[in-house]
Amino acid sequence: MSRDKRPNNGLKTIQKLAHTRVVAALTCVNTLCPDLSASGKRLMVNQILTLSDGKDRSIPRTQITEAQVTEMVWRNMQCIYHKCPLLVFGKQLADELNEFFREDE
């Protein structure tokens, strides 16, 4: 004889917990972003539920590229001579900037 006469008792508990989590996430999104579109709210609720599944989901750190560094330098430089060459070590500068702004792990 089985211990529980209702065979889906565990499944109902999981469904109830999932429903509670969805309602909590939706309530949070409605409170924080009341003017957000329905599709935006759906996306945000899905992201909250994904984050709340207990796994470590750290956001990847944005890295500056060699081309971005070179473009920033070129846009913000001025030479007093008419034909002044500029040598930029973009990769090294990008590495230095990324290291400077690296979050301590």
Domain ranges for the chain: 9-51, 66-100
Q: Can you tell me the distance from the alpha carbon of 26 to that of 16, in angstroms, rounded to the nearest whole number?
A: 15
User: What is the enclosing helix (H) or strand (E) of 15?
Assistant: helix 9-32
CA atoms within 13 A on the CB side of 34: 1
pTM over 0.85: no
Query: Going residue by residue through the chain (105 aa), what tens digit of pLDDT does each one get?
Result: 455 555 567 778 888 888 888 888 889 999 998 898 988 888 888 888 887 776 665 666 788 888 888 888 888 777 777 777 777 788 888 888 888 888 665
